Amino acid sequence: MNRIYLAPMEGLADALMRDLLTRTGGYDGAVCQFVRVSATPLPPRTFRRACPELDGGGRTPGGTPVSVQLLGSCPERMGETAARLAGLSPRGIDLNFGCPARTVSRHGGGAILLDDPGLLRRIAEAVRRAVPEAIPVTAKMRLGNRDTERTLDCAAALQAGGVAALTVHARTRIEGYRPPAHWEWIARVREAVSVPVIANGEIWSVADYFACREASGCADVMLGRGAVADPFLARRIRRAASAGNFAAADDGSAGDWGELSVLLREFWQRLRLRVSARHAPGRLKLWLSFLRRVYPEADTLYHRIRAHEEIGVVSAALAAATAAE
């Protein structure tokens, strides 16, 4: 079974976006954006805000299971927080060792922790111990903080700490989001551990998907920005894989604008109910800034509304661009 997961993306893939993207089919799971673990115990509403799916059995409306991601550096606090979270029955708990933010505040975390495999292990152990066996604990890591010197040690430490699967975003912290992603390094991680390794980074097309699987040797992948740029990417991959025709099936966006128009209209409608009039246009432009990589129609719409902040103008342009034929 080759699994496809939707990546956590703070500020980009909230519950609304996860709903729209997973509804189109092809995803086996998703991870919500990180919840920052703090000195004071987090109330249930903090978890629910990051992952409203918790109130729907831990699944998106389309049925895709969603894990809740925790970010922090103190094993005890991570354990306590995970125990509280477990009370809300998440489908899984994921640990963030990939956030590139530099803040090493007292409660910081993310990719900077990759300098300390021992700490990674203690965090994973504390969380694993704190939650019932039935809740899988997974981790998502970059290759390292500044270099790949400790990549394999980190992966081994997380496995020893009890994680059930490991997603590897194939870049170091200092590489940020600069291409390329070093898929061949994921292969080295996969060979070093026995838990399933999920490959992540720079999969934007069906061709990238197969190239990543080939280079990493991984059966499973996680799609991030590529999923936002092409909401039908996972479905396209599934179709190509079952047709066994990897090159020809990478047909880009042809014919999908009509279907995407429906998603865009729903996105705008629901966004306007949840977000203030001041912020809604920015969110739409953000999505369009990804969609325009794949859809020429999105590029045209993006340019049309780029300089506008008024809801009426943006609504009218969106309606015109997505009108049913």
Please pick, from the candidates 36, 91, 128, 140, the single residue that binds ligand FMN as defined by CB under 6 A: 140
- State in angstroms the smallest separation of the CB of 10 from ligand FMN: 4
| 172 lies in the binding site for ligand FMN (CB under 6 A) | no
Q: What separation in angstroms does the CA of 293 have from each of 44, 212, 256, 299?
A: 38, 20, 14, 8
Q: Does 114 bind ligand FMN (CB under 6 A)?
A: no
201: contact with ligand FMN by CB under 6 A: yes
Using the contact rule CB under 6 A, the part of the chain among 95-103, 112-120, 154-162, 184-192 near ligand FMN is 95-103
- Token pair for residue 74? 């103190």
Q: Does 149 bind ligand FMN (CB under 6 A)?
A: no
| Near ligand FMN in 31-50, by CB under 6 A | 33-34
Whose Cβ is closer to ligand FMN: residue 42's or residue 321's?
Answer: 42
Question: Taking CB positions, which residue lies at the least distance from ligand FMN?
Answer: 224
Q: Which of 32, 51, 74, 99 is catalytic?
A: 99
Instruction: Lay out the site mask for ligand FMN across 226-265 (x = CB under 6 A, - = otherwise).
Output: x---------------------------------------
Is there a catalytic annotation at residue 99?
yes
Q: Among 200, 205, 253, 315, which residue interacts with ligand FMN (rule: CB under 6 A)?
A: 200
Can you tell me the distance from the alpha carbon of 188 to that of 197, in angstroms, rounded to the nearest whole number? Answer: 10
- Out of 73, 96, 148, 159, the only residue in the binding site for ligand FMN (CB under 6 A) is 96
Contacts with ligand FMN by CB under 6 A: the residue count is 22
Residue 26: name the closest of 208, 232, 198 by CA.
232
Closest CB to ligand FMN among residues 9, 316:
9
SS (H, E, C) the chain: CCCEEECCECCCECHHHHHHHHHCCCCCEEEEEEEECCCCCCCHHHHHHHCHHHHHCCECCCCCEEEEEEECCCHHHHHHHHHHHHCCCCCCEEEEECCCCCCCCCCCCHHHHHHCHHHHHHHHHHHHHHCCCCCCEEEEEEEECCCCCCHHHHHHHHHHCCCCCEEEEEEECCCCCCCCCCHHHHHHHHHHCCCCEEEECCCCCHHHHHHHHHHHCCCEEEECHHHHHCCCHHHHHHHHHHHCCCCCCCCCCCCCHHHHHHHHHHHHHHHHHHCCCCCHHHHHHHHHHHHCCCCHHHHHHHHHHCCCCCHHHHHHHHHHHCCCC
- Residue 98 CB, shortest distance to ligand FMN, in Å, is 4
Looking at the Cβ atoms of 234 and 317, the one nearer to ligand FMN is 234
Q: How far is the CB of 183 from ligand FMN (least distance, A)?
A: 11
* 11 counts as binding ligand FMN under rule CB under 6 A: yes
Q: Which residues face 221 on adjacent strands? A: 4, 199
Say which amino acid occupies 216: S
Applying CB under 6 A, which of residues 8, 72, 144, 161 lies at the interface with ligand FMN? 8
12 makes contact with ligand FMN (CB under 6 A)? yes
- Please report whether residue 158 would count as binding ligand FMN according to CB under 6 A: no
Taking residues 57 to 76 in sequence order and writing x for each that binds ligand FMN by CB under 6 A, - otherwise, the string is: ------------x-------
Q: What are the catalytic residues? A: 99
Binding site for ligand FMN (CB under 6 A): 7-12, 33-34, 69, 96, 98-99, 140, 169, 200-203, 223-226
